[in-house]
Amino acid sequence: MEDCLFCKIIKGEVPSNKVYEDDYVYAFKDIEPAAPVHVLVVPKKHISCLNEMTENDELLAGKILMAIKKIAKELGVDEKGYRVINNCGKDAGQTVMHLHFHLLAGIQMGEKLV
């Protein structure tokens, strides 16, 4: 999608600190880290948010989850633990309208909303 920041990052038109890439997924360091490890895991296909995923994206959904698992292992945080967050829509505070999952680790995290 032309005007999408994360699409531009995936295409290399905007710089990023890449941590992982495969045919389906691109992952890079968040520019404003909320934890010592803060990686954004995004599908290469432009999907604005979870609401826009369809049954045709079921394979992709699995690929994203498996990529998150792989990245956590590669970064050495799989044993100690990590948190995965997806903000969908206004009330959740989604600011970039390209589906993404925050992978947070490296610190003891506090309060959970759920």
Binding site for ligand AMP (CB under 6 A): 5, 14, 16, 30-32, 40, 87, 93-96
Binds 96, which of ligand AMP, Zn ion, none (CB < 5 to 8 A, cut-off by type)?
Answer: ligand AMP
**38 counts as catalytic:** no
Task: List, as own/partner pairs, every contact residues 65-68 make where C-beta atoms lie below 8 angstroms and the sequence separation is at least 24, other chains included.
Answer: 67/20, 67/22, 67/24, 67/25, 67/27, 67/41, 68/41, 68/101, 68/103
Q: Of 2 and 79, which CB lies nearer to ligand AMP in the complex structure?
A: 2
Q: Choosing among ligand AMP, Zn ion, none, which partner's interface includes residue 93 (Cβ < 5 to 8 Å by kind)?
A: ligand AMP
Residue 26 or 82: the one with the smaller Cβ distance to Zn ion is: 26
